[in-house]
Structure 1
């Protein structure tokens, strides 16, 4: 029999999704895969009910239904402070996962190099491999998760085609300061590099930190492919609605790639979500406040359990240090945690290029009662230190 593709040997299955199966095996509270256990906004559910009977139920325009792109352009123009044209600057994708792959395939050829900050969301490395590119890793060192400018410059000196920027960051919860983004922008300009951003947590940023859209920096819109989705903002991770925002010369390429990857995102879900995209700014301020409360609830339990952690600045993840438990392998610890304590986490080594085994990642995108139940279980960890 012929052999399967050689690229498959360079990456495995998703560790995050595997830990969800571990959670199910042991009936553990799933704080590994980052999806909510609460409903989307009522206005969105009501719109979905209406669309169920009224449609549309056939293909939308492959790069996004016109009314969806119009609503998205208006919303993102307001937040990004950029004059976005729904017909020139947007392609709608099947989630941000496809958006990132579309962006990578649009700008990268096999053999190109791509800068990836470590720790990183696991899909990024798979994206580089699937496009035939080569990752250049630049560490973000805990606990502050800051990069060294000289180290980053050396990475740019290798003439990468693109840099991937997750902001706010998964898994670390870091929100890049404006001065850090300006360093990246100067280097991208000096070395003529594209920047591919993953900004799915754009509305989950905790005071006093602020999110700056990279494309909004002076001169950066022309070289930035801004990827995001509606999954986290509206608690609809299963709807798989994402998008790329970029200048026309890049969007034209994105549309070609997207058309042959998935044809288009689900037409009825786009129609329903127009309603959510028209929500006032007060919704997004409320979302931030809601997640700030969830963060505080969960961190209080971590503190009471005497666990060392990094306070998230954005997103809904927290990295916890497991060194006091004496495990050499963080994945073994996560299996033990799910089995014996009843809480599922993700081994941090799946996010780091460096040989890091002392961190695990929890998420807190859950109802308060779920977080309290998980927290009560985690208090038992004091017995095992």
Structure 2
């Protein structure tokens, strides 16, 4: 018998331009160099709300059937809770059994939505910078990526709101081949919250060209005053063409639970269900039960300042402002987020303080972030990872930091940068 042919068993053509993700690469980088402060990946380094973890503890010692398979498209108690929450938030009665799908994180919701709706040659619009899996998931489904970049509309001190789409350029992307657009609001990594006029522009073009909206809203509860999160599915004529995606990991600060959901009209969710049932079939029952309990608790205090959905945004506002202060004091030019827990900062004014010749990556932000990890023990993420190849230069002067961290962690980051800057 002949040995295996490496070409025959290589990746299919749709994966051949897919490289190692920035997360895989930078987790390995952190494991090797062990930076004192890692502000790269987006997760808290402190405990989630007590009632969330107590719910899981209660589940693990409770009904033994909760350790077995549950309903494939979502644990009954959880889909009921999700439907109840969003029915309240969008002012439309959502059917828990046909209009909600529970997935392995928002990541799988994205995958199921893209794989379930995109066919060979379909064009999908993405807005740069974008969460990196959008691109590869579209390509793996046989789709064609059409992209447009958000760009700052002024110089100097920036808010995320200052990054905008060119409406003329945006309209030119739409045609008969356009199948879908992926909208991310609140936005990662900018922290931008799309305003009503921006959403109306998107909605009008989607209705004109009969385009599906996949709305990634995982940071929906982390919006800072005075910004307001508007769900595009509440705009006239948009419910019937929108799939909205959420995340328990982001909502309750339990990213390791890897639990997410999609909601929208039954006819659109049907395609996601077909992908889901042939990929993972069902999600972990105990985690779904505990998440349902957490939602039920929050539903009793939605209008209270004690609601985690409100208190987390207040807490993050202080952390955001502290990070903006110490970055500005150390020569970075920040874009102040309106939401989420990431901040991008222009490091180019500090370029003369570093010798990047030891790093061989093509893009400057990769070289800079790796230099920082190895030389001053602080890790961030290179934003060029969130652009298509022709536009990667737009992200090269920036670095992305995460600020949903203990105050002590942020103080340590500030000290590292101030010590470095002073030298």
Contact 1:91 1:244 survives alignment (8 Å): yes
**Which residue number corresponds to residue 373 of structure 2?**
338
Name structure 2 gaps, 5 residues minimum: 153-157, 357-362
**Which residue number corresponds to residue 227 of structure 1?**
245
Contact 1:240 1:265 survives alignment (8 Å): no
Q: How does 1:1-385 map to 2 (within 5 A)?
A: 1=5, 2-4=8-10, 5-28=12-35, 29-54=37-62, 55=64, 56-142=66-152, 144-157=162-175, 159-278=177-296, 279=298, 280-281=301-302, 282-326=307-351, 329-353=364-388, 354=391, 355-356=393-394, 357-383=396-422
Contact 1:305 1:380 survives alignment (8 Å): no
Decide which structure has the larger Cα Rg and report it. 2
Q: Deviations over 1:17-52 (max 9, x none)?
A: 422322232221111110111112111111111111
SS of corresponding position for 1:72: helix
The runs of at least 4 aligned residues of structure 1 exceeding 4 Å deviation read none
Contact 1:106 1:250 survives alignment (8 Å): no
Give the TM-score normalised by the residue count of structure 2.
0.88
Q: Report deviation, 1:383.
A: 4.1
Q: Report deviation, 1:297.
A: 1.8
Contact 1:17 1:33 survives alignment (8 Å): no
Name structure 1 gaps, 5 residues minimum: none
Count of aligned pairs: 384
SS of corresponding position for 1:330: helix
Q: Report deviation, 1:305.
A: 1.3
SS of corresponding position for 2:249: coil
Cα pair distance change 1:342/1:150, threshold 3 Å = same
When structure 1 is superposed on structure 2, of 237-246 and 327-336 the one drifting more is 327-336
